[in-house]
């Protein structure tokens, strides 16, 4: 039997709009300052960096949709 080599695919880099980039920066700054809440301001403080990234990307997506 022949061995099959698995080739890693390179991820495509997506260009973000300036609005989305600013939103991600703002949310990640809030995370670093321990001011980022899940849900509303009354929700618990986010402690997991992966969750902070998910929130940042979600808010950036919303911000770009509103601008168009």
pTM of the model: 0.73
Residue 57 has pLDDT above 80, yes or no: yes
How many angstroms separate the Cα of 37 from the Cα of each of 2, 46, 53?
53, 5, 13
Quote the CA–CA distance of 38 and 47 in Å, as a whole number. Answer: 10
* Alpha-carbon 29 to chain mean position: 12
Residue 53 has pLDDT above 80, yes or no: yes
Tens-digit pLDDT profile for residues 2-29: 677 777 777 777 777 889 999 999 999 9
Burial of 64 (0-12, 13-18, 19+ CB in 10 A): middle
- Pairwise pLDDT comparison (67 vs 28), residue with the higher score: 28
pLDDT at 16: 76
Quote the CA–CA distance of 27 and 44 in Å, as a whole number. Answer: 15
């Amino acid at each position: 039997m022949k061995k099959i080599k698995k080739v890693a695919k390179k991820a495509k880099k997506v260009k973000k709009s300036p609005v989305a980039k600013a939103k991600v920066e703002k949310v990640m700054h809030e995370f670093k300052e321990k001011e980022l809440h899940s849900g509303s301001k009354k929700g618990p403080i986010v402690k997991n960096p992966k969750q902070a990234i998910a929130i940042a990307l979600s808010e950036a997506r919303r911000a770009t949709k509103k601008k168009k």
